[in-house]
Chain A
Amino acid sequence: MSATASAFSRLRGGERVALFLPCYCDMLYPHIGQAMVGLFERLGVSLDYPQEQTCCGQPAFNGGSWPEARALARRFAKVFSPYPWIVVPSGSCAAMVKVFYPYIEAGAQADELGGRVFDLASFLVDVLGVVDVGATFAHSVTYHDGCHARRELKTSGAAVALLKAVRGLRYVPLPSIDECCGFGGLFSVEYERLSASMGRAKCDNILVTDADVVTSQDASCLMHLEGLLERQRLGKRPRTMHLAEILARP
């Protein structure tokens, strides 16, 4: 039995998978969480949602407030430590736990958690060994790579493979996919003109693809791009959808 098949059977055998839904998604994009629940139900995996969860601490970390970030990392580790698997519909927040908790020395429990935390695409492809999740979505779709997903987690390949396996979906590669969209957390409001200039360049590339939908693992990038696209008052503009929303379509 392959490693992934065994992971799948352990999951089917009742090992619990926790959903970490980033705080801003909980507040602003609940449908991403709902899509996660629906998607995993279809795959025969029931997600737990530990209700004590709040924030992974990334804004404090990126803002240079590491004592606050450490406190949130420890809290996160406590809330999620009972779970052998934790899946996060965000490359950025997954990278915070996997890469940056050890970097800020938030303690053994936080360090140890990284191996159990996965972004959605890596969890499906690398852990469950599933590429075709049984989704149907009859639209043209381009994929925007969040920088953490791309460079810290190297999960772009998995995300694109998942999209290509969706029935009816026509995948259109995004030109200059390796260039940042300019969101950058607090950067987006502290240096909004730089942020928007980078975002508009990204929007231009999205429009070049003429795709119906632009998707990503990171709703934060999409929030920024959606906000910019809306201001452009185009006749027809691509919709932004999180990867989970597309994969959840039956």
Chain B
Amino acid sequence: MRPAASAHTHPGRSFQDPAATAGFQAVMRSAIEHKREAQLQVPWAQLRAQAHRLKAEAIGDLDRLLVHFEREFSARGGTVLWAPSARDAVEHVLAICRRHGVSTLVKGKSMISEEIDLNDALQASGIEAVETDLGEFIIALACDQPSHITAPALHLSRGDIGELFARKLGIPYSDDPHVLMTAARDRLRETLLRAQAGLTGVNFAVADTGTIVVVENEGNGGLSATLPPVHISLMGIEKIIARLADLPVFLQLLARAATGQKLTSYTHHFLGPEEGRKAYCVVIDAGRSEVLADPKTRESLYCIRCGACLNVCPVYRRAGGAAYRSVYAGPIGSVITAQLSGHRHGAELPFVSTLCGACQEECPVNIDLPHQLVHMRSRLAPDARDGRKGKAIGAAAFLMQGRMTYALASALVRVALRLAPACRPLLPFLSGWTRERALPALPKQSFKAWWKSRERERPR
């Protein structure tokens, strides 16, 4: 996983320069409203607790369940390939393409393919890779990066997309969604029919039946998986669930949490290849063992990628997905990005949060995101900030260690507040505050001083 290349397509989009429009924020707000309405249709709290427990069991039993899945998937004629690293996963896909003479590969929506930078590797090997999910198709045309887990092109307006299609597909400009969709569909149908292989992600891999479950709304995932003679599934190890009987719990939660739908338009159960066809499933670790090994972050592997934590996050709503420079944005992205990328980037992300906890409230599997964010801060602090900030916290903490040093700190605060109006640029810490806000008025004396004089005056 590499830092997303979106900085150049969206200049100024960073956490220091939050650029999300009012329209974007309104979309996020209505997504959460739809979710909350949809929750009322089912015993939400009960399903949520059940899903949490089922995921805990599955993640706790991962070694056994993965092997069980391999056995069942193989018995149905599929082939499981193991990928300890992102690079291994890419090599597997390239080897499959070579074996079957694949020159064109169609892709259903797969976040993990973004995570392992598959498209770059395919391109370098001369394989044409075409995204068939409308949002991903748009992102690929724009040479952009997805900004949302379930809605990758969320940050683009239909005007943006109209201009993009006019430029890249050579159609007359239109911002009519129907016209744009038809243009994309025509292009994609043709590609789907000539591709030699199709690649999709996995929402759930069912251990006891060897079933691969993919949910989607557009139908492109089903076509990508079934039209070409070779189907490649990419999954992170955490996608496993123990039993087919567990699936309804997750299906009832996932679409409602993501969009407020009762179910997605399509729920595919892929049960191995038909006669004369091939099915591969690449099972990828790529940093997930590290998440698993830390009991305080393990829960983040329960994530079913609904995007609700993004939709409700006040930081995501304002900064947009591009600011995260990661395939996974929002609170869940802030927890897992550093770990999944082998600590190559994402160390800052857990710090870009007020730890307000709204994400956990919305999470359909009740992942303790705020506590994981603060835990990741302790793990990533040395990578995330320059030494100066760490020293400043250390110095402040030192001052808080004794009564006399505390009195000194208290005196320093008084001096700083008194001088601030006159020489605010001298105090970088204060300017972080005062660019946007007025400083509090300095009281006559501290509470400690007041208490002492009160004690003195009190009759003993």
**A residues adjacent to B (C-beta < 8 A):** 21, 23, 25-34, 49, 51-52, 54-55, 57, 59-66, 68-69, 71-72, 75, 100, 103-104, 147, 150-152, 178-180, 182-199, 223-224, 226-228, 230-231
In the complex, what residue of chain A is closest to B452 when comparing beta carbons? Answer: A51
Residue B448 interfacial (CB < 8 Å): yes
Taking the closest CB of chain A, its distance from the CB of B93, in whole angstroms, is: 37
Taking the closest CB of chain B, its distance from the CB of A217, in whole angstroms, is: 15
Q: Are B401 and A75 in contact (CB under 8 A)?
A: yes
Taking the closest CB of chain A, its distance from the CB of B2, in whole angstroms, is: 24
List the 9 shortest-distance A-B pairs measured between CB atoms, nearest first.
A227-B437, A184-B354, A189-B432, A64-B381, A64-B377, A180-B356, A68-B397, A196-B436, A30-B447
Question: A69 with B435: in contact, given A27-B413, A193-B18 (CB under 8 Å)?
Answer: no
Q: Return chain B residues, CB-CB under 8 Å to A30.
A: 443, 445-447, 449-450
Q: Are A182 and B355 in contact (CB under 8 A)?
A: no
Residue B439 interfacial (CB < 8 Å): yes
Q: Return chain B residues, CB-CB under 8 Å to A187.
A: 351-354
Q: Return chain B residues, CB-CB under 8 Å to A192.
A: 432-433, 435-436
Q: Are A34 and B450 in contact (CB under 8 A)?
A: yes
Residue B374 interfacial (CB < 8 Å): yes
Distance, CA A196 to CA B176, complexed state (A): 36
Q: Are B432 and A60 in contact (CB under 8 A)?
A: no
Taking the closest CB of chain A, its distance from the CB of B361, in whole angstroms, is: 7
Residue B278 interfacial (CB < 8 Å): no
Question: A179 with B353: in contact, given A63-B377, A227-B438 (CB under 8 Å)?
Answer: no
Q: Return chain A residues, CB-CB under 8 Å to B440.
A: 28-29, 223, 226-227
Interface centre among A152, A187, A224 (most CB of B within 10 A): A187
Q: Are A198 and B397 in contact (CB under 8 A)?
A: no
Q: Are A29 and B443 in contact (CB under 8 A)?
A: yes
In the complex, what residue of chain A is closest to B350 when comparing beta carbons? Answer: A64
Question: A60 with B393: in contact, given A147-B357, A180-B354 (CB under 8 Å)?
Answer: yes
Q: Are B371 and A25 in contact (CB under 8 A)?
A: no
29 contacts between A and B (CB under 8 A): A26-B446, A31-B443, A32-B447, A33-B447, A33-B451, A34-B450, A51-B452, A52-B403, A55-B400, A60-B396, A64-B351, A64-B380, A68-B397, A72-B397, A104-B378, A147-B357, A151-B356, A152-B357, A183-B354, A185-B354, A192-B433, A192-B435, A194-B352, A198-B314, A198-B318, A199-B436, A223-B440, A226-B440, A228-B437
**B residues adjacent to A (C-beta < 8 A):** 15-18, 314-315, 318-319, 350-358, 360-361, 370-371, 374-375, 377-381, 384, 389-390, 393-394, 396-398, 400-403, 406, 410, 413-414, 417, 429, 432-433, 435-440, 442-443, 445-452
Q: Are A231 and B438 in contact (CB under 8 A)?
A: yes
Q: Return chain B residues, CB-CB under 8 Å to A34.
A: 447, 450
Q: Return chain B residues, CB-CB under 8 Å to A194.
A: 15, 18, 315, 318-319, 352
Main secondary structure of the interface of B (DSSP, over half): helix
Q: Return chain B residues, CB-CB under 8 Å to A147.
A: 354-358
Distance, CA A23 to CA B410, complexed state (A): 9
Identify which of B352, B397, B439, B443 contacts A60 (C-beta below 8 A): B397
Question: A33 with B16: in contact, given A179-B358, A226-B440 (CB under 8 Å)?
Answer: no
Q: Return chain A residues, CB-CB under 8 Å to B406.
A: 23, 54-55
Question: A184 with B400: in contact, given A63-B377, A191-B15 (CB under 8 Å)?
Answer: no
Interface centre among A31, A64, A189, A193 (most CB of B within 10 A): A64
Taking the closest CB of chain A, its distance from the CB of B30, in whole angstroms, is: 14
Q: Are A191 and B16 in contact (CB under 8 A)?
A: yes
Q: Return chain A residues, CB-CB under 8 Å to B374.
A: 61-62, 64, 100
Distance, CA A188 to CA B448, complexed state (A): 26
Distance, CA A183 to CA B354, complexed state (A): 7
Q: Return chain A residues, CB-CB under 8 Å to B402.
A: 54
Q: Return chain A residues, CB-CB under 8 Å to B401.
A: 54, 71-72, 75
Question: A189 with B403: in contact, given A147-B356, A198-B314, A227-B439 (CB under 8 Å)?
Answer: no
Distance, CA A20 to CA B266, complexed state (A): 57
Q: Are B17 and A33 in contact (CB under 8 A)?
A: no
Q: Besides A29-B443, A152-B357, A187-B351, 6 other CB < 8 A contacts?
A: A68-B397, A151-B356, A178-B358, A180-B354, A180-B358, A184-B356
Distance, CA A34 to CA B450, complexed state (A): 8
Q: Return chain A residues, CB-CB under 8 Å to B351.
A: 64, 186-187, 190
Q: Are A184 and B396 in contact (CB under 8 A)?
A: no
Q: Are A227 and B353 in contact (CB under 8 A)?
A: no
Distance, CA A22 to CA B398, complexed state (A): 17
Taking the closest CB of chain A, its distance from the CB of B418, in whole angstroms, is: 13
Taking the closest CB of chain B, its distance from the CB of A186, in whole angstroms, is: 8
In the complex, what residue of chain B is closest to A184 when comparing beta carbons? Answer: B354
In the complex, what residue of chain A is closest to B380 when comparing beta carbons? Answer: A64
In the complex, what residue of chain B is closest to A146 when comparing beta carbons? Answer: B356
Q: Return chain B residues, CB-CB under 8 Å to A25.
A: 447
Taking the closest CB of chain A, its distance from the CB of B359, in whole angstroms, is: 10
Q: Return chain B residues, CB-CB under 8 Å to A183.
A: 354
Q: Return chain B residues, CB-CB under 8 Å to A21.
A: 447
Taking the closest CB of chain B, its distance from the CB of A30, in whole angstroms, is: 4
Q: Are A59 and B396 in contact (CB under 8 A)?
A: yes
Identify which of A69, A103, A188, A190 contacts B397 (C-beta below 8 A): A69
Q: Return chain B residues, CB-CB under 8 Å to A62.
A: 355, 374, 377
